[in-house]
Amino acid sequence: FVLFLFVMKVYIMIPFFAGGAQGREIEYCVAGWRKHFKENYQIVLVGDYHKVVDTGEDITFVECPRVDDIHGQYRPHIDFASKFRAFHKAFPKVKEFVFCADDVYAVNDFDLYDIAFLKYRSASTKASPVSHNGFHRDKFKTVELLKKEKLPQRNYTTHLPQLIEWKKLEALLDKYDMDHNSYVFEDLYFNTYYPKRVPFKLHIDYDNLKCGVYRPNPRISYIEAAFKGKIWIQNSVEGWIPQLDKMLSDYYGI
């Protein structure tokens, strides 16, 4: 990584699709950065407008309408490529940035070093090309591409903030025409550029980084413990439940 000891400003790129929001995820996400990120930063919301962009000078909005559907491709991943390019167009001098999903909530202090080191979920990915889930189909498609390129197939889809170098990402977007062909960019990016690195393996019982809420009946005790023992809480669509919403609202006071 191009990680400097004295960083002038960290740019945090958050893609946002209003139609995919279930509640106040983006508000909690922004609140987490403001409360716990110990760096000089600028949040950049790329995509649809949300009123949170009017809440301070530390957040900027870049309008980028969602891309049209392309038959046979997973639309959210095509949309990521579009939003990455829109971000770069708006900030052409930014050489690296932090990519963050809108459903990731910081609950303890952290800095750029906590983001930058490599983290992964597993050494390989199990996915099916005929899955009803478009994301799983793209996982399979990406694994096959990595095999073809004789690269590792580690699962880097951690759903945590990740430090990205623009030139490296742009090279992949162009090489694989990711504006029209959907791939899991995290898996492609980190396996391509760091094939011989030994990343840190996430595990909810042992790491201090992430509590993922992925089902409608999660172990609430794990979420409660995460407010003291983890840096981030994160949820999937299935994991967005009223109790989590209330816990986050009470924590951030919003």
C-beta separation of 210 from 191 below 8 A: no
Q: Does residue 6 have a pLDDT over 70?
A: no
177: amino acid identity, one letter = D
Helix (H) or strand (E) holding 164: strand 162-165
Q: What is the 3-state secondary structure (H, E, C) of 41-53?
A: EEEEEEECCCHHH
Separation of alpha carbons 223 and 243, rounded Å: 10
Computed over every residue of the chain, the mean pLDDT equals 95
28: nearest Cα among 88, 102, 85: 102
| Tokens 């170098």 sit on residue | 165
Q: Residues 26-54: what's their mean pLDDT? A: 98
Per-residue pLDDT at 178 exceeds 60: yes
* Tokens, residue 240: 């967005």
Q: What is the pLDDT of residue 127?
A: 82
Q: Is residue 4 over pLDDT 70?
A: no
List CB contacts of 159: < 8 A, sequence separation 6 or more. Answer: 101, 103, 104, 210, 212, 234
CA distance 21 to 169: 26
pLDDT (tens digit, 9 = 90+) per residue, 113-129? 999 999 999 988 778 88
Q: What is the pLDDT of residues 54-88, one digit of tens each?
A: 999 999 999 999 999 999 999 999 999 999 999 99
User: Cα(209)–Cα(207) distance, rounded to whole angstroms?
Assistant: 6
Q: 4 phi and psi, to 5 degrees?
A: -90, 150
pLDDT for 238 equals: 94
**Cβ contact 12:44 at 8 Å:** yes
| HSE-CB of 135 using CA atoms within 13 angstroms | 9
Q: In this structure, are residues 9 and 43 in contact, taking their beta carbons and an 8 Å threshold?
A: no
Distance CA 175, CA 198 (A): 26
> What is the pLDDT at residue 21?
87
Q: What angle, 0 to 180 degrees and rounded to 10, lies between the N-to-C axes of helices 25-36 and 242-252? A: 40
Contact between 216 and 243 under an 8 Å Cβ cutoff? The reply is no
- Residue 112 pLDDT: 97
CA dist list (Å): 44 to 97, 138, 225: 10, 26, 30
How do beta strands 232-235 and 210-213 pair?
Answer: parallel
Pairwise CA distance, residues 53 & 140, whole Å: 36
Confidence class of residue 5 from pLDDT cuts 50, 70 and 90? very low
